[in-house]
């Protein structure tokens, strides 16, 4: 093999080792290849917590990455202290089994959103939203939960217990077309395992979401959520989407 061919091979191996989908046997002793689990890196302003009882860690901005069924609703606590069943809000609703969701990672659809819960208050009780007289609302919290998944056949990682948490309060308004919140920072987390080895993936990104009300009862009828911009180093969450009917808690 000539010097030019050897250089091309070296470049190819470096590229393979840096990819989340590379085969580990492509590495050579002079190069450092990370395992798939080691490709998960947390942002500098996030910290993970594998042993915490109610959260997976936190980010700044964004707050806590609450575990499934928990929210951080009290500014004087450093944890996700409130169980969803104990949330004190005027409206608490969760998605039904008819929800349609997508989770895309590294440009491939790998999992599905399975549940969403939202808690919010109306600022002016009795307000009927119209274009000329919008009603003001405050979202206290939002949480999405994700079905476990494994990225196959490219690696052996299992992603489990995934949650997206938005910590309020977030001001929103309804001019007759649904309660729309502005793009807001949220925190996404998974417990990722490769056999007996584990690592918590936590990162922050942006979500936009709306709650649509029944035109007659003005009760929550459906939830629409879109999110992007979450990165775990070698794994990027390209798209989060949920379109779900809501039922009162």
pLDDT at 52 over 50: yes
- The continuous run of DSSP H or E covering 9 comes out as helix 3-18
The pLDDT tens digits for 204-235 are: 999 999 999 988 888 899 999 999 999 999 99
Of the pLDDT bands very low, low, confident and very high (cuts 50, 70, 90), residue 97 is confident
The model's pLDDT over 188-197, given as tens digits with 9 standing for 90+, comes to: 999 999 988 9
- The residue-averaged pLDDT of 5-23 equals 42
13 phi and psi, to 5 degrees? -70, -40
Residue 1: the pLDDT is: 52
Query: What integer pLDDT is reported at residue 2 of this predicted model?
Result: 52
Q: What is the pLDDT of residue 218?
A: 81
- Predicted local distance difference test score (pLDDT) of residue 154: 63
* Predicted pLDDT of residue 16: 41
Q: Note whether 234 and 40 are within 8 A (CB).
A: yes
Q: What does the pLDDT look like over 146-187, one tens digit per residue?
A: 999 887 656 678 999 999 999 889 999 999 899 999 999 999
Return the beta strands (E) in 147-249 as ranges: 149-150, 158-174, 179-194, 197-213, 220-228, 230-231, 236-248
For residues 162 and 10, which has the higher predicted lDDT (pLDDT)? 162
Lowest mean pLDDT among 108-117, 121-130, 139-148, 238-247: 108-117
Question: CA quadruple 199, 204, 208, 212: dihedral positive or negative?
Answer: positive
User: Which tens digits make up the pLDDT trace of 54-90?
Assistant: 999 999 999 999 999 999 887 777 789 999 888 889 9
Token pair of 167 as six digits? 């910590």
For position 15, what pLDDT does the model report?
A: 42
Q: Does residue 124 register a pLDDT over 90?
A: no
Q: Is the pLDDT of residue 94 over 70?
A: yes
Is residue 115 predicted with pLDDT exceeding 80? yes
Structural contact between residues 184 and 172, judged by C-beta atoms closer than 8 angstroms: no
DSSP state of 178: -
**What was the pLDDT predicted at 22?**
45
Residues 82, 229: contact at Cβ < 8 Å?
no
What is the chain's mean pLDDT, rounded? 84
Does the pLDDT value for residue 111 go beyond 90? Answer: no
């Amino acid at each position: 093999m000539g010097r030019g061919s050897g250089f091309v091979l070296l470049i190819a191996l470096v590229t393979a080792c840096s990819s989340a989908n590379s085969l580990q046997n492509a590495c050579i002793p002079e190069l450092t290849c990370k395992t798939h689990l080691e490709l998960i890196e947390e942002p500098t302003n996030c910290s993970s917590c594998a042993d915490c009882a109610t959260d997976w860690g936190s980010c700044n901005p964004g707050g806590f990455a609450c575990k499934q069924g928990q929210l951080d609703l009290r500014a004087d606590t450093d944890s996700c202290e409130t169980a969803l069943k104990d949330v004190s809000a005027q409206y608490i609703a969760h998605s039904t089994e008819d929800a349609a969701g997508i989770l895309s990672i590294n440009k491939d659809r790998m999992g599905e959103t399975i549940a969403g819960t939202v808690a919010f208050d109306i600022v002016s009780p009795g307000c009927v939203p119209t274009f000329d007289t919008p009603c003001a609302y405050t979202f206290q919290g939002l949480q999405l939960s994700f079905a476990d998944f494994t990225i196959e056949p490219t690696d052996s990682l299992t992603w489990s217990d995934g949650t997206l948490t938005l910590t309020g309060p977030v001001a929103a308004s309804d001019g007759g077309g649904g309660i729309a919140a502005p793009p807001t920072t949220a925190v996404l987390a998974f417990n990722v395992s490769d056999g007996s080895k584990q690592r918590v993936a936590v990162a922050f990104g942006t979500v936009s979401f709306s709650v649509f009300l029944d035109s007659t009862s003005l009760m929550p009828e459906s939830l629409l959520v879109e999110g992007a911009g979450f990165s775990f180093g070698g794994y990027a969450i390209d798209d989060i989407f949920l379109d779900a009917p809501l039922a009162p808690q």
